[in-house]
């Protein structure tokens, strides 16, 4: 049978037609379940659609219990195919679809089953077995589907806790539901951000305020830069960036934060102001005594500055203990070009390029030196 399936997509017409006749004669529900993964894999070929069509016709006769074998298949293509057939044949109850959306790791199946679960509901009573599963899912798209459905179910008041969800799409859906019932998400966020030392302040409330607030709300966010919770500090920096209210001098100390998430957000916020930062201050943070996330953040800012400062920082990281950072430094040198506002013929540039000789061919090194005016 596996050989017959493969020959159904053969490039020779008579072979292909004979194999297809054999497949139609031999395939039944039990054999189809066993060979479905191979048929679907062969179906990706240019002549493989026939086998997939036959498989679909056979498996439409399968029961829920028979298709359940394919729901657990490790191949996500097989699982997608099986769930589509089950939804088409209405073999799964809404609660089963919701559970599949919450448990399966494939995003296509999550969206497919979550949508089908809500579509299959016909009365408000059915939501009790579906929405809790969707709202507790790890995938944010499934949670957002559940949050949006709260309004349809008449449970709009339950959307409020999701205003601080870790996912932006879930927060946006929650704000929509709250607004539909007459609430004001921005005021709700402001109320929670007025206590800068509140240890229970959820990070989602900080970034949520930035997402639906205005530039005047930056005054509420800035005191949160010193919040004891790293998540709040990181979201505060992200929020100020979203509001276009970043003060480089104010957030610069967070580049030394002990938590990598905070340093990443700070680096992203400082990139537009990289040339305003002290080059020596940044170079000091690329030393081997600094934590890796601090070295990475400082190097990203130095690289954004360009010119000899970026070249000096990159060459200085050739001996860094971190393999990825050494690789990024080498890539920075390979794409380096002298800045037009710097003087040509700088001896330091020639020395740094000589230390980077192993990254270039002789021709490219001579060309780069000529561009920088340091021909040797």
Q: Cα separation of 285 and 318, whole Å?
A: 15
Q: Cα separation of 275 and 306, whole Å?
A: 9
52, 45 Cβ separation under 8 angstroms: no
Structure confidence by residue, pLDDT tens digits, 85-140: 999 999 999 999 999 999 999 999 999 999 999 988 865 557 888 999 999 999 99
Mean pLDDT over residues 199-214, rounded? 94
Q: Whole-structure pTM over 0.75, yes or no? A: yes
Q: Cα separation of 266 and 233, whole Å?
A: 10
User: To which residue do tokens 């099986």 refer?
Assistant: 82
Confidence label for 213 from pLDDT (cuts 50, 70 and 90):
very high
Q: Rounded to 10 degrees, what is the CA torsion of 278, 283, 285, 290?
A: -170
- CA torsion sign for 21, 85, 59, 105 is positive
3-state secondary structure of 194: coil
Indicate the helix (H) or strand (E) that contains 372. helix 362-372
Query: Under 8 Å CB-to-CB from 266, ≥6 apart: which residues?
Result: 237, 251, 252, 254, 255, 257, 297
Query: Under 8 Å CB-to-CB from 356, ≥6 apart: which residues?
Result: 315, 318, 330, 333
* pLDDT for position 125: 59
Structure confidence by residue, pLDDT tens digits, 170-198: 999 999 999 999 999 999 999 999 988 88
Mean pLDDT over residues 75-86, rounded? 94
* Helix segments in 104-202, DSSP class H: 107-120, 131-135, 140-153, 168-180, 185-192
Q: Cα separation of 363 and 343, whole Å?
A: 23
């Amino acid at each position: 049978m596996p050989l017959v399936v493969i020959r159904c997509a053969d490039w020779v017409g008579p072979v292909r037609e004979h194999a297809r006749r054999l497949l139609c004669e031999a395939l039944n529900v039990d054999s189809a379940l066993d060979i479905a993964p191979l048929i679907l894999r062969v179906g990706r070929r240019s002549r493989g659609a026939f086998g997939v069509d036959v498989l679909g016709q056979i498996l439409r006769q399968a029961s829920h219990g028979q298709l359940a074998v394919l729901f657990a298949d490790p191949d996500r293509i097989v699982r997608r195919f099986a769930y589509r057939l089950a939804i088409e044949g209405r073999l799964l109850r809404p609660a089963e679809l919701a559970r599949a959306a919450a448990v399966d790791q494939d995003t296509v199946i999550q969206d497919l089953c979550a949508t089908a679960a809500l579509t299959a509901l016909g009365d408000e009573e059915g939501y009790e077995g579906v929405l809790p599963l969707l709202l507790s899912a790890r995938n944010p798209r499934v949670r957002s589907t559940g949050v949006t459905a709260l309004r349809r179910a008449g449970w709009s008041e339950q959307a409020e806790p999701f205003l601080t969800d870790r996912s932006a799409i879930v927060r946006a859906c929650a704000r929509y539901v709250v607004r539909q019932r007459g609430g004001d998400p921005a005021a709700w966020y402001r109320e929670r951000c007025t206590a800068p030392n509140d240890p229970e302040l959820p990070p989602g409330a900080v970034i949520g305020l930035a997402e639906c607030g205005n530039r005047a709300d930056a005054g509420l966010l800035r005191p949160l830069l010193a919040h004891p919770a790293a998540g709040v500090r990181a979201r505060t920096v992200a929020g100020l960036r979203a509001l276009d209210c970043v003060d480089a001098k104010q957030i610069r100390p967070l580049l030394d934060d002990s938590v990598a998430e905070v340093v990443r957000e700070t680096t992203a916020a400082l990139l537009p102001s990289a040339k305003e930062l002290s080059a020596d201050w940044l170079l000091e943070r690329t030393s081997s005594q600094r934590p890796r996330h601090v070295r990475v953040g400082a190097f990203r800012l130095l690289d954004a500055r360009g010119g000899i400062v970026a070249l000096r920082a990159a060459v200085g990281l050739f001996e860094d203990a971190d393999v990825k950072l050494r690789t990024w430094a080498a890539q920075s040198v390979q794409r380096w070009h002298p800045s037009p506002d710097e003087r040509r013929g700088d001896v330091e540039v020639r020395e740094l390029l000589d230390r980077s000789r192993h990254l270039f061919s002789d021709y490219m090194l001579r060309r780069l030196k000529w561009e920088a005016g340091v021909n040797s």
